[in-house]
Every structure is written in structure tokens, then in C-alpha cells.
Amino acid sequence: MTQPGVDLSARPRIRQDVAFGPGLRAGDTAVYHVKDHATGWYYKLGPREHFVLSRMDGEHSLDDINAEYIAAFGKRLGPQSWEQIFGLLHRRRLLGDTSDADLAELERLRAAAAAETKRSRSTLLLKRFPLVNPDRLLGLLAPRAGLLFSPRFVVPVLVATCGVWALVASQWREIWEQMQVHRGAPLYIALVLAVSWVIHAVHEFAHGLACKRFGGNVPEIGVMWRFPLFVPYCRADDVMLFPARRHRVFTAFAGVFASLTLSVLFAGLWLVAPEGSTAKAFAGSMVLFTSLASLVNFIPFLRLDGYYMLTHALGLADLRVETYKFWGHLLRRRMAEVRGYRRRDLWTYVAYGVGSALFAAALAGTIFTLWFTRLSGWLGPVPAAAILTAEAALIITLIVYARRRKRS
């Protein structure tokens, strides 16, 4: 059946440098991430849009796509739908056979993507300062780093890590005492601060190396203001394009694994360093820091590596966002909104929501108790309560402001 204004015999082709990611569950549907490598833009598509665009390979005619679309969704794409689709593809220059005008528009889109990335990642609570583009270096290292991703290396390190945690659990008092003895020494302080930053930088570099190893691009390594700290960061957004779920999980785990590997080295230094020496105190500090930081990173209720590992392992687009949406529907009794959810996802959102609430309550209660006890000893209970109330109000205001600005 011919449709007016549409050449159903046409065989459009999406540019070869446009990459389609796998379907990730979001509520009762799926989300597909798409990256235009020429401009740096990322797009999110629903199942129907992805179905159509992923078949624009120069082999399928529009008639072929329509026939498959009817079989999959029980509905034909009409002329208006095709006009909307091709309007989007033209505006974003996603089709092949680009002209000089298209190349100019791609350059404009590339600049717009960079500006949008900079704007969206600049808030009161989060701001990034790119320093270098490590993609070329990582491209040289990744093919030669096979051993680092091999069970022959990973398994022994994880076993040794269990020994490190046993060491920390059994000798934490001695480690702490050594730290207290040297805490005012300039050499000790300089070593701890400098090496802590190096550890964090290695952590981020490991994310980038894993991302490159599994086929992604890594355009930035820099320094990030993440309230209330300045820390290194690495952009590994292409992880959302990896078809293999385990590769997404491994990329999220790579940073923690690098920190754990370093903890084994510091534990060895702790065991051989002379008693009472600066080296002993430094090694103990690093063992304690890397071990505790790694454990914190595994907590899935913080938006750290453990959270992303769990999200990728479950095949979800964004566990926290979808959990908030689910509980919002539930508390407002919008049961029709959750009727199409998979049973496993329902249990996931219930468990994660309850766990998040309990964790947040326990964390806030612990911080409040410790801080109130300290302030009360200095100022008395009433001023301490007033200060804590003011601090809580300020933090809540900053969070609300940052989220509103992000949504806008």
C-alpha cells in the first residue's frame, strides 16, 4: 500500500559512526542509549523509535521496516510518523551521505554537545574541570592490558584483598596508634595527602582503561568538585553502549579493583616496615584508607561504583530514578502506572526503596549524634541544636536548588 508523500522503496542508512546501545529497563518499558560519535551527542530512544532507527542500515526499505513494525507493534507507521522521524534525522544529521552543509551542521552540533555537557555538569554541588583527553593513551594501553582483566590476575588479587581486610580487622588498633604518633609529622602528612590523590587518580584511570578495553571512548580525565570535596574523575559514558552486561559491570568495578590492588601493596609495606617508622604509619594509613574507601564504594545506596555495578547487573537504566518513580506512584496510589512492571523489577524497587530509606535514616542519625555530642561539649545543647538545624536547612536548600536547576 503506497502512502502519499513517502517513498516506501527508499533504503535510508544511519551513519556508521552512530552507535546503538542495548535496551535497559526503565519502569514498564525500555530505554536505548544512542551516541553520535561525530558530535558527541547522546540520545535516549524508546522501543519503537529504536526499532525503526536500528533497521535503517541501507538494506531495509521503509516498506520492509513498516512490515516488521506491524508484526512487532500491530500498527503501521503513517506519513506523519515518517515525516517526524526524518525531520529528527535531518536536524541531527544522522543519515549517511553527508554534504558540505551537513558537515558544517555536524560541527555546530559538536560544539553544542560540548556546551551542553559543560552546562549540565556545573551546579553548586557538582562541577567538572577537564584536564586531558586520555583516549589515545588508553587506546595504546588497553590491547596490552589483557592480563589485568584475566582471572589469573583478578582472582589472586581478590583473595589477597580478603587477607588485607583480615589484617585491618585484627590490627586496626595498632594501625590507629601508629597514625596518631605521626599525625603531626610534615613528611607523614605530605605522603598521605599526595598518595591518597594518586590512589584516587589510579581508581579513575582504571575506569577509563576498562571502558576503552571493552570498546568505549574516554574523552576526559580531570578534577571534579563534588560537595564537599575536590576529587579526580574520568568520563566513561560509553559504558551505556556496551551490549554485554558483564562489561558494564566490570567497568564500574575497575576503579574499586584498582584501589584494592594498591591496598595489597600497602599491606605488604606495613608488614615489613620497621616498628614506629614513618613508613609503617604511612602504610597503615593507606591500608586503612583504601580498605574503608573500597567498602564505602560498594554501598549501593550511595551513587558510587557499587550503585552502578548493581544497576548494570540488573539491566536497568537508572535504579535510583526508577525506584523514586515507583514509590511516587505507589504513595499516590497510581496503581495503573505500575501494572506493567515486571515482577522482578517490582521487588527490586521495593527492596531498594526500603533499604535506601533505612540507610539514609541510619546515616543521618549517626552524623547528627556524633556532631551534636561534639558541639554540645563546646557550646552547650541549645546552641548545638540551633547550629545543626541551620546546617540541615542549608544542605536541603542547596540540594533542592541543584535539582531544580538540573530539571530546568
Does residue 316 sit in helix, strand or coil?
Answer: strand
Judge whether 371 and 362 are in contact, CB under 8 Å: no
pLDDT given at position 333: 85
Cα angle: 401, vertex 407, 408; to 5 degrees: 90
Residues facing residue 34 across a β-bridge: 20, 43
The three-state (H, E, C) secondary structure of 146-212, written as one string: HHHHCHHHHHHHHHHHHHHHHHHHHHHHHHHHHHHHHCCCHHHHHHHHHHHHHHHHHHHHHHHHHHH
Q: Give the three-state DSSP class for 99.
A: coil
Instruction: In whole angstroms, give the CA distance from residue 357 to residue 368.
Output: 16
Tell me the pLDDT tens digit for each residue of 126-157.
788 889 999 999 999 999 999 999 999 999 99
Averages of pLDDT over runs of 10 residues in the chain (408 residues) are 60 91 93 90 91 91 92 88 86 71 63 64 73 94 94 95 93 90 87 92 96 95 82 92 96 96 94 90 93 93 95 95 92 86 93 95 88 84 85 80 67
CA distance 319 to 352: 8
Q: Is 155 exposed, middle or buried (0-12, 13-18, 19+ CB in 10 A)?
A: exposed
Max Cα separation, the chain?
A: 87
Q: How far apart are CA 165 and CA 293, in angstroms?
A: 12
* pTM, rounded to two decimals: 0.86
Q: Residue 266 in contact with residue 286, Cβ under 8 Å?
A: yes
Question: How many Å apart are CA 304 and CA 374, to the nearest integer?
Answer: 29
Report pLDDT for 226.
76
Q: Report pLDDT digits (tens) over 200-238.
A: 999 999 999 999 999 999 999 999 887 677 888 999 999
Beta carbons within 10 angstroms of residue 367's beta carbon: 11
Q: What is the DSSP letter of 122?
A: B
**Are the beta carbons of 319 and 288 closer than 8 angstroms?**
no
| Burial of 26 from C-beta contacts in 10 A (0-12 / 13-18 / 19+) | middle
